[in-house]
């Protein structure tokens, strides 16, 4: 299977991206997860009368996900890997930590995910709590989250690409 460019995920809605990510991370999902596999999963969740509604182009939130998936399948093929279309962002708490590292004037190079991990190991979470940027309980999962991003995207991925605020 041909991998699609990573920036294609920026064209996918946050709701569809979340669905794709859930299917990719589901241990019971067939591997590798393709767009058509996600479409079948979503179609199986919908009531049987939905197929009639789909043919009538009835507006429905779930139908919009199917429409979006169909457009991706038409453009990239049914066997395109779902992972190429799933957006990956840091949580708001990790985004704050990444932003702090990015804005550190003492840094010579653009920070990577590994740089952020090193800062967290060095006490960045506690510092952000102490500065009032984060609540005490918000720094508990930062290290696990950055480790997951590193495992998936690599230690050398630019950290600022994962910043997201809702």
pLDDT tens, position by position, 19-31:
887 788 777 876 7
DSSP structure string for 2-36: PPPPGGGGGGS-HHHHHHHHHHHH-TTS-SS-BHH
Sequence-ordered list of residues with C-beta below 8 angstroms from that of 145, at least 6 positions apart, any chain: 90, 91, 94
pTM over 0.85: no
Cβ-based neighbour number of residue 87 at 10 Å: 18
| φ, ψ (nearest 5 deg) of residue 9 | -60, -25
3-state helix, strand, coil in the chain (%, to 5): 60, 0, 35
Helices (H) and strands (E) counted in the chain, each on its own, are 8, 0
pLDDT tens for 120-162 read 999 999 999 999 988 887 777 888 888 878 877 789 988 998 8
Name the 3-class secondary structure at 61: helix
Range with lowest mean pLDDT among 2-11, 87-96, 97-106, 120-129: 2-11
Nearest-angstrom CA–CA distance, 115 and 44: 43
- End-to-end alpha-carbon separation of the chain, Å? 34
């Amino acid at each position: 299977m041909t991998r699609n460019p990573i920036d294609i995920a920026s064209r996918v809605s946050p709701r569809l991206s979340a669905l794709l990510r859930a299917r990719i991370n589901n241990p019971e999902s067939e591997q590798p997860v393709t767009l058509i596999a996600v479409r079948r999963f979503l179609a199986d969740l919908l009531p049987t009368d939905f197929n009639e509604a789909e043919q009538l182009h009835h507006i429905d939130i779930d139908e919009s996900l199917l429409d979006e998936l169909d457009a991706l399948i038409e453009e990239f093929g049914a066997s395109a890997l779902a992972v190429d279309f799933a957006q990956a962002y840091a949580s708001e708490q990790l985004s704050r930590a990444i932003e702090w590292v990015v804005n550190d004037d003492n840094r010579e190079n653009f920070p990577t995910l590994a740089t952020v991990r090193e800062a967290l190991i060095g006490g960045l979470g506690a510092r952000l709590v102490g500065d009032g940027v984060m609540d005490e309980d918000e720094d508990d999962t930062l290290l696990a989250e950055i480790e997951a991003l590193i495992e998936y995207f690599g230690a050398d991925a630019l950290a600022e690409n994962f910043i997201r605020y809702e």
